Structure 1
Amino acid sequence: MTDTPWWNPGRHADRRPVLLARNRAQAAIRGFLADRDFVEVDPAALAISPGNEAHLHAFATQAIGNDGQARTMYLHTSPEFAMKKLLAAGETRIAAFAHVWRNRERGPRHSPEFTMLEWYRVAEDYGVLMDDTAAMAQLACVAAGTRLLRHGEVVCDPFLPFARVSVAEAFARYAGIDLLATIRADGPDPAALAAQAAAAGVRCAGDDTWSDVFSRVLVERIEPHLGHGRLTVLDRYPAAEAALARSCADDPREAERFEIYACGVELANGFGELTDPAEQRRRFQAEMVEKARVYGETYPLDEDFLAALAGMPPASGIALGFDRLVMLANAVPRIDAVLWTPVP
């Protein structure tokens, strides 16, 4: 049946129970948010800038004006910029189930178009978002008629208290690397991290940046261990890997960024949000320099977003891969199985 198109009646009948479980999970999460006074918003998908992180890739299009002139626009990779503008406008608790698009991403856990659940809390600590995500994982399980998230042979019980570990602690525990020792006052030291990674048996190349080595260790040595048995919150990312998060008050080498894992799969990415427009501009510019170096292209900065950031109150925000959560709750191995109409 795997070669049968998704719209074949027989195959659709096989797929339908999971798709209905997806709908139940979405309805339950909407109820959870409404009970906590969140306003559901509907951000536009077309944007001046799709985001300014070096390794995110967008779909571009041409918007033709009434004068016949073409202007490049992008399908957003996240509704973040639009939603933060709403926070600057005065909203205090907002959420969106948004279709988002990311190019160069396709695989068992990646679709070029997918559903992101993003929500923000003004004047609240980013730790509350961890509790929100755990509750949503529980709701997805209930909707699927199970207690466990499952990916392959690995299971995770979201009803258990989640584990919380810093990135530095995880690097020490699973790779024997002293991560913070590789971050100097003037920034990350690529040679220092590469030396430790090589000693741990992680392959490094002579032209690797600090971020290259960091990502390789994270993917190869850290992520496979996370979210076994219970949800894992990987907290306090290095500031160099947290372009949109504010720095930790007790150590500027780290930032208020976390990711939540279940069964070795990343589910959500959250922040204590950066609200300094000058610092945000500097970080975006640095990201685009890196994007130009690696991929030979850049995206424009959203000047309206940077202007709005000056009026945005302190807030915490998070993006959850809704399709991945449905995958794990229903124990299906591929993201296409939980999409009503998979991308061709």
Structure 2
Amino acid sequence: MQTPTASPWWSAHVHHDRRPRLIARNAITRAVRRWFEDEGFVEVETAALQVSPGNEAHLHAFATEALGHGGERTVLYLHTSPEFAAKKLLAAGEQKIFSLGKVWRNRERGPLHHPEFTMLEWYRTGAPYEALMADCAALMALAAETAGARRLSFRGQSVDPFAEPERLTLAEAFDRFAGIDLISTVSDDGSTDREALAAAARAAGIRVAEDDVWADVFSRVLVEKIEPHLGQGRATVLCEYPTPEAALARVKPDAPKVAERFELYACGVELANAFAELTDPAEQRRRLIAEMDEKERVYGERYPLDEDFLAALAHMPPACGAALGFDRLAMLAVGAERIEDVLWTPVAE
């Protein structure tokens, strides 16, 4: 006897139930574009196919091949973010840009993850990264207002999207929720004390494997002890990440152990990742190679560096940039339980 399966999304009755949320998503899309245009931003459309999909250790890309006229084959990737291309536009002279388009990430599927999703990414030249915190707060309020929601909600949790977000540093969060002195395990040069963090994590009840490196332990504490407390009642801006966890961000001038990076959380859901941009090509190369070394250690593969991007960094002005999961924001605004509830045509499983 076969187990009955759920009706596909294109079934008339399923689509009928999903449609109000999809129409609300469309309204939020229009409102977001108007907001950026009113703020003086230019919308850009970056190429989805890139020589490098991004060089973060734990992001996985979809690869394809391009055939030249002579039959030569070139490996290209669907981008995991428009970041590298957008920064080239900043080097070219653009000052305030935003992109609202599709990105692709492999090995990701679940209530909050989909292999193809929409990312809202924007950049401000000559602005401090705190300006992005204000942008994030404004966009949350805009999405809620457009959807007619007084609160953002997800799985029994809710936040007031019109309240000023709480600002919490990683050091404060690790101390408050795990009793761990995080910054003492990081040196001014970015090196880390794995044994000290592992011992503190075990004392906090976190399982640590023998082959876990510092970054593994950091991530486990963040997921198990910190994230469940974020974005409760009002959104949380989790900021000042340790430099080893901010490969593309500028070091905080008066605190060399941390970088000018923050993430936005609402209802325990990570909505955005933002930072003041690193513009030193040599330092950026060093960090990206370190990320790919870690990727090879964990997954046995690595992606090429985008040499064009590294060359452009030398011409890029000081800037800050943010990436926000647009589908997740729409989810919270309409009270959906799964990301697929706000996608017009989900990818087949």
The bucket for the TM-score relative to the shorter chain is over 0.9
2:254 to 240, 250, 253: 250
The 3-state SS of whatever aligns with 2:7 is coil
Contact 2:150 2:160 in 1 (8 A): yes
For structure 1, list consecutive stretches of 5 or more residues without a partner in the other structure: none
User: Once structures 1 and 2 are overlaid, which stretch shifts more, 59-68 or 259-268?
Assistant: 59-68
The 3-state SS of whatever aligns with 1:256 is strand
- Partners of 1:323 and 1:2 in 2: how far apart? 25
The 3-state SS of whatever aligns with 1:343 is coil
Matched, 1:63 2:66: yes
Amino acid at match of 2:236: T
Matched, 1:21 2:24: yes
Alignment-derived partner of residue 80 in structure 1: 83
- Partners of 1:118 and 1:33 in 2: how far apart? 11
Matched, 1:132 2:125: no
Contact 1:28 1:139 in 2 (8 A): yes
The 3-state SS of whatever aligns with 1:128 is helix
Displacement after TM superposition at 1:65 (Å): 1.1
CA displacement, residues 136-156 of structure 1 (integer Å, 9 cap, x when unaligned): 111111122111000111100
Amino acid at match of 1:146: A
2:183 to 155, 165, 180: 180
Displacement after TM superposition at 1:2 (Å): 8.0
Alignment-derived partner of residue 225 in structure 2: 221
Aligned positions, number: 344
Runs of 4+ in 1 over 2 A off after TM superposition: none
1:95-174 aligned at under 5 Å gives the runs: 95-174=98-177
Alignment-derived partner of residue 284 in structure 1: 288
Displacement after TM superposition at 1:185 (Å): 4.0
Displacement after TM superposition at 1:184 (Å): 2.6
- Partners of 2:283 and 2:92 in 1: how far apart? 21
Matched, 1:275 2:279: yes
Matched, 1:5 2:14: no
The 3-state SS of whatever aligns with 1:188 is coil
Alignment-derived partner of residue 340 in structure 1: 344
For structure 2, list consecutive stretches of 5 or more residues without a partner in the other structure: none
The 3-state SS of whatever aligns with 2:65 is strand
- Partners of 1:200 and 1:158 in 2: how far apart? 32
The 3-state SS of whatever aligns with 2:167 is strand
* Distance change >3 Å, CA 35–CA 2, structure 1 → 2: farther
- Partners of 1:2 and 1:265 in 2: how far apart? 29
- Partners of 2:142 and 2:60 in 1: how far apart? 31
Contact 1:138 1:147 in 2 (8 A): no
Amino acid at match of 1:320: L
- Partners of 2:139 and 2:5 in 1: how far apart? 30
Contact 1:50 1:76 in 2 (8 A): yes
Contact 2:188 2:256 in 1 (8 A): no
Give the TM-score normalised by structure 2: 0.97
Give the TM-score normalised by structure 1: 0.99
Matched, 1:92 2:95: yes
- Kindly, what percent of the aligned residue pairs are identical? 64
1:44 to 43, 47, 65: 47
The 3-state SS of whatever aligns with 1:129 is helix
- Partners of 2:212 and 2:193 in 1: how far apart? 11
Contact 2:262 2:274 in 1 (8 A): yes
Amino acid at match of 1:235: C
Matched, 1:310 2:314: yes
- Partners of 2:237 and 2:102 in 1: how far apart? 25
Alignment-derived partner of residue 33 in structure 2: 30
1:196-207 aligned at under 5 Å gives the runs: 196-207=200-211
